[in-house]
């Protein structure tokens, strides 16, 4: 009987065994047969390890469950390559370490396609967990409780005098199993146990036949490399590990005691010596960007995408304003994406065949990356991210999307962005750039990778920087005379490159083409509308990295679909290719030297301080302290900030450490940044004193001692993150409220203990801070275009925060757009939303009926009801001026539905596939908007 069928009999009907394989568990240098299965239930995966009392295993009764490991963020996997046997023959097995907070397990697995398929399944399960967690649906694994109860003790060897696994330091930057994401057909599963009984006498036959990619993953694009990969098989362990994405591990001969992992140290030394084993080859990269102004592809794209006789090896193509509908501003599907995806595929260079690496989109910003089919097998570690920079940081009308991958041994990162518009808003554009640069994280890696950690970075997009301080007549004259260099002296981006932090380290080619914006659609004539915008080079391509040469930088005025012209740049990029024989020789030399150093020296470091105190920490205003860690010993030092006992992370959520893990050479030092940042997720607990700015960090030295770093600070309370119940009781600015009184009124139900005779019988109908924001927007925003659509400036929002918290100055500072975003932020940060958590589900259920919605609203406390009605009347007043401010009732209902109706923190996460969860999220979003629409389109107070 198929092993999977035997395992399936041990599971419930809703649980499915996906893959099953025989392996040997290494205990005290001895092999013990185990059956390893990966199981799934409602998109949650777990690894089951069974013992068997019979060889071959013929019945499920022969199997007994030994260990259960949920596939989640704390599961770590690491490959170790055993040396050949005494005859010098290469090993036909390799070792796989599995580590969770409860257990460490070392498995010996056959070098076989069934093993590849099993590891690929683990990788897919880890990726699915990461995507679900990022979507907010963190798996609970409650279905594993019954199995754990039967097991009793997670690690049966934990009480042994010597547990070899707990002396293995398997944790390093390569611990996460990274495999090709192909769903291999497991054709060799059978009831026999031939591998275990004779694997040491025979060689595994790997002829490369019968390997096929069955299907794409359920959460990726089916024609992308990240969801569907084909690889040739070989009989080389090194090749097999490279195909699976497993970094070379420490060679661990059977019969020897496991040693601590030194991969991070070895990796750093290898980087310094890579010239000894790395060869360079060159690839052609095409980058293209086009703001299509919501139009469909009605012209052939070959004049843009095919500019040379030689075909590019890589295409990175970015679009902006793919969809201009108001409803699309808050993430939703777009029919335009499919049109442009197909158009691009149709007009790629005709001399080559291409595979899509990945595509990613938020609203109108789309990035598609292709690679030449012959190079696809050398691509690994594909990941993507998106950072919306629209108002409130969740609207995707502006922002950036990114794709990263590794080609051979060189990491590539492509970013497509659409920054803030309008001639005078260059500082807002700078802020958008900083947000994208700092917030982009590729979460496949632990810790996540940033943009700056890649070797070849290409930034494309409608960056929206304009030509300023020069008349439109002079601009057009310079364009006609092709005096581009003189005109660039008035370009907002050109004047910042190399002199500010904006695109620091990036380069741009010489611009020898006309400004690409703004044209009358369908023509080559610059804007003749009433606004008569000054022409500008809004559409740009920049790069960062060593070994990158720009070949050409062009615009393509023949394409007249949009009010922008597309831009392209061709590059030649050096790619590192590892010579396996030379690599192995250098690696062995490094290991010998590390053996000698570790035997003679212990890691020694010196910190310039072990205490960090932050003074006057404010909401959304980061503070940074730097600790310098110096290596004063003779050996390489690897440090890492580790979790304290029973803690889920190494620091509290308002604290960030960069880097949290590093290797330091002897005689050098590393600066570690300790950043405190109070955001909307942590502000309420600090306001109510449920948390405080105190933490202890554990700095762990691999092979050495732990050092404790204390972090403390004083937090300045803010109206952002307070409760409505507390705010209506404050007769003075929150900074003047004594801490003990603030803690008291922030307690739920505090109004029930208020003695109105002592307060003069005064309670505000709505918070005075809310009134100030709304009055300011009413007075200055009725005729302001794009109200609630353009994000505010961070510096201005901080000034508004201080004004509301201190009561000074009397007039709110900053632009009306900053005040509008401050209003949304104020509402989103309320400890209890305007529509309380307790009636959230009732509101969704009643959203299709005005009368039912009003009945639900009648159940909430008066101060919540008053605030809701006040907001609705304000929004209806703003909608009266929609011709000037551009507001639409459906858009207003959508964006305010998001902040006024929030799911309770304790709400159970939805189960099911990612597509099903996305559908439910969109359905919930629509119900929130429908609920709000009733109160914006009807006179509910009469």
Summarised one tens digit per residue, pLDDT across range 679-722 is 999 999 999 999 999 999 999 998 888 999 999 999 999 999 99
Residues 6+ apart with CB under 8 A from 893: 929, 930, 932, 933, 936
Q: What is the pLDDT of residue 165?
A: 33
Whether the per-residue pLDDT at 469 is higher than 90: the answer is: yes
Higher-confidence residue of 284 and 4: namely: 284
pLDDT at 594: 82
d(CA 123, CA 810): 57
What would the mean pLDDT of 599-621 be, rounded to a whole number? 92
Q: Is the pLDDT of residue 156 over 50?
A: no
Give the residue-averaged pLDDT of 642-663: 90
Residue 161 pLDDT exceeds 50: no
Q: What is the CA radius of gyration of the chain?
A: 30
Mean pLDDT of 404-420: 96
What mean pLDDT comes out for the span 548-559?
Answer: 98
What is the pLDDT, as a whole number, of residue 472?
Answer: 96
What's the average model confidence in pLDDT over 565-578? 97
Q: Is the peptide bond before 447 cis (omega within 30 degrees of 0)?
A: yes
- Between CA 684 and CA 535 the distance in angstroms is 47
Closest CA to 140 of 46, 14, 66, 13: 46
What is the pTM assigned to this prediction? 0.70
Alpha helices, DSSP H, located in 729-793: 739-745, 768-781
Residue 215 has pLDDT above 60, yes or no: no
Contact present, 100 and 196 (Cβ < 8 Å): no
Mean pLDDT (whole number) for 449-465: 96
Number of other residues whose CB lies within 10 A of the CB of residue 840: 19
Give the pLDDT of residue 714. Answer: 95
What is the DSSP-derived secondary structure letter of residue 883?
H
**pLDDT at residue 147, rounded to an integer:** 86
Structure confidence by residue, pLDDT tens digits, 30-78 = 788 899 999 999 889 999 999 987 777 778 888 899 999 999 878 887 7
pLDDT for the residue numbered 524: 96
Whether the pLDDT of residue 374 is over 80: the answer is yes
Average model confidence (pLDDT) across the chain = 83
548 token code pair? 């990158």
pLDDT at 257 over 60: no
Q: How many Å apart are CA 373 and CA 412, to the nearest integer?
A: 17
| Mean pLDDT (whole number) for 746-762 | 75
pLDDT band at 760 (very low <50, low <70, confident <90, very high): low
Give the pLDDT of residue 190.
36
User: Do 767 and 832 contact (CB within 8 A), yes or no?
Assistant: no
Most confident among 353-362, 387-396, 752-761 (mean pLDDT) = 353-362
Tokens of 883: 């011709």
Report, as an integer, the average pLDDT of 324-350: 80
Q: What is the pLDDT of residues 506-530, one digit of tens each?
A: 999 999 999 999 999 999 999 999 9
pLDDT at 163: 34
- Whether 624 and 675 have beta carbons less than 8 Å apart is answered as yes
CA atoms within 13 A on the CB side of 749: 0
pLDDT at 753: 78
Q: What does the DSSP assignment read for 904-939? A: -TTPPPP-S-HHHHHHHHHHHHHHHHHHHHHHHHS-
> Which carries the bigger pLDDT value, residue 27 or residue 90?
27
Q: What is the pLDDT of residue 394?
A: 62
d(C-alpha 878, C-alpha 880), whole Å: 5
Q: Is the pLDDT of residue 610 over 70?
A: yes
Percent of the chain residues past pLDDT 90, beyond the cut: 60
For residue 870, is pLDDT > 80?
A: yes
pLDDT at residue 211 greater than cutoff 70? no
């Amino acid at each position: 009987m198929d092993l999977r069928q035997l395992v399936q009999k041990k599971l419930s009907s809703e649980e499915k065994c996906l893959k099953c394989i025989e392996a040997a568990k290494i205990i005290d240098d001895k092999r013990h047969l185990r059956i390893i299965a990966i199981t799934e239930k409602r998109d949650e995966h777990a690894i089951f390890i069974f013992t068997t009392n019979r060889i071959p295993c013929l019945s499920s009764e022969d199997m007994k469950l030994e260990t259960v490991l949920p596939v989640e963020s704390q599961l770590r996997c690491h490959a170790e390559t055993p040396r050949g046997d005494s005859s010098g023959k290469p090993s036909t097995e390799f070792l796989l370490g599995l580590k969770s907070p409860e257990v460490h397990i070392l498995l010996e697995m056959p070098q076989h396609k069934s093993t590849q398929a099993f590891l690929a399944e683990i990788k897919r399960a880890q990726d699915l967990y990461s995507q679900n967690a990022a979507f907010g649906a963190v798996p609970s694994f409650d279905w594993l409780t019954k199995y754990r109860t039967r097991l009793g003790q997670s690690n049966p060897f934990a009480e042994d005098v010597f547990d070899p696994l707990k002396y293995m330091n398997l944790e390093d930057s390569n611990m996460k199993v990274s495999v090709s994401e192909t769903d291999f057909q497991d054709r060799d599963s059978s009831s026999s146990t031939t591998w275990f009984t004779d694997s040491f006498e025979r060689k595994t036959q790997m002829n490369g036949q019968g390997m096929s990619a069955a299907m794409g993953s359920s959460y990726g694009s089916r024609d992308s490399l990240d969801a569907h990969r084909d690889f040739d098989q070989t009989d080389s362990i090194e090749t097999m590990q490279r195909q699976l994405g497993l970094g070379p591990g420490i060679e661990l001969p059977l019969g020897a005691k496991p040693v601590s992992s030194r991969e991070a140290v070895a990796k750093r030394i290898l980087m310094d010596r890579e010239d000894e084993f790395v060869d360079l080859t060159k690839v052609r990269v095409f980058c293209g960007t086009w703001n299509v102004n919501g139009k469909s592809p009605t012209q052939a794209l070959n004049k843009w995408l095919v500019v040379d006789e030689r075909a590019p090896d890589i295409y990175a193509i970015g679009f902006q304003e793919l969809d201009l509908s108001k409803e699309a501003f808050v993430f939703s599907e777009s029919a335009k994406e499919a049109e442009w995806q197909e158009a691009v595929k149709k007009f790629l260079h005709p001399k080559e065949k291409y595979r899509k690496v990945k595509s990613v989109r938020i609203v109108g910003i789309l990035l598609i990356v292709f690679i030449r089919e012959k190079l696809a097998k050398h691509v690994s570690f594909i990941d993507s991210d998106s950072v919306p920079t629209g108002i409130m940081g969740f609207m995707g009308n502006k922002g950036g999307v990114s794709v990263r991958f590794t080609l051979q041994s060189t990491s590539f990162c492509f970013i497509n962005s659409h920054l803030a518009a309008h001639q005078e808003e260059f500082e807002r554009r700078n802020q958008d750039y900083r947000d994208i640069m700092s917030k982009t994280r590729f979460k496949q890696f632990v810790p996540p990778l940033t943009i700056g950690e890649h070797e070849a970075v290409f930034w494309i997009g409608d960056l929206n920087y304009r030509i300023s301080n020069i008349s439109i007549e002079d601009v057009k004259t310079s364009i006609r005379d092709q005096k581009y260099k003189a005109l660039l002296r008035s370009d907002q981006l050109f004047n910042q490159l190399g002199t500010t932090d904006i695109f620091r380290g990036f380069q741009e080619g010489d611009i020898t083409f006309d400004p690409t914006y703004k044209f009358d659609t369908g023509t080559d004539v610059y804007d003749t509308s009433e606004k008569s915008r000054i022409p500008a080079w809004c559409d740009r391509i920049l790069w960062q990295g060593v070994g990158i040469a720009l070949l050409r930088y062009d615009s393509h005025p023949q394409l007249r679909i949009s009010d922008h012209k597309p831009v392209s740049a061709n590059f030649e990029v050096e790619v590192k290719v590892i010579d396996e024989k030379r690599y192995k020789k250098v690696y062995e030399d490094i290991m010998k030297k590390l053996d000698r150093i570790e035997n003679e020296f212990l890691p020694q470091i010196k910190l310039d301080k072990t205490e960090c105190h932050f003074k006057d920490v404010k909401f959304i205003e980061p503070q940074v302290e730097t600790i310098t860690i110096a290596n004063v010993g003779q050996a390489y030092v690897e440090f890492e900030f580790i979790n304290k006992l029973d803690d889920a992370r190494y620091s509290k959520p308002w604290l960030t450490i960069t880097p949290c893990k590093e290797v330091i050479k002897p005689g050098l030092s590393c600066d570690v940044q300790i950043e405190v940042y109070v955001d909307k997720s942590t502000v309420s607990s600090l306001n109510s004193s449920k948390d405080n700015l105190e933490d202890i960090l554990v700095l762990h030295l691999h092979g050495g001692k732990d050092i404790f770093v204390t972090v403390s600070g004083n937090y300045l309370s803010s109206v952002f993150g307070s409760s409505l119940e507390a705010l209506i009781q404050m007769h003075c600015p929150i900074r003047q409220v004594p801490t003990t009184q603030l803690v008291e009124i922030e307690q739920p139900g505090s109004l029930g203990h208020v003695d109105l005779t002592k307060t003069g019988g005064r309670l505000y109908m709505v918070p005075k801070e809310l009134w100030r924001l709304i009055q300011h927007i009413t007075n200055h925003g009725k005729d302001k275009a794009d109200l609630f659509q353009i994000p505010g400036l961070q510096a201005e929002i901080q000034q508004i925060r201080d004004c509301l918290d201190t009561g000074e100055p009397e007039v709110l500072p900053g632009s009306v757009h900053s005040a509008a975003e401050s209003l949304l932020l104020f509402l989103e940060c309320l400890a209890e939303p305007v529509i309380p958590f307790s009636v959230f589900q009732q509101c969704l259920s009643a959203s299709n009926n005005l009368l039912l919605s009003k009945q639900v609203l009648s159940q909430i406390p008066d101060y919540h009801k008053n605030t809701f009605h006040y907001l609705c009347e304000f929004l209806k007043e703003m909608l009266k001026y929609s011709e000037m401010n551009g507001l639409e009732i459906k858009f207003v209902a959508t964006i305010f539905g998001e902040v006024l109706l929030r799911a309770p923190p304790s709400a159970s996460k939805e189960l099911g596939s990612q597509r099903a969860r996305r559908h439910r999220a969109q359905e919930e979003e629509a119900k929130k908007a429908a609920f709000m629409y009733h109160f914006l389109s009807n006179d509910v107070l009469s």
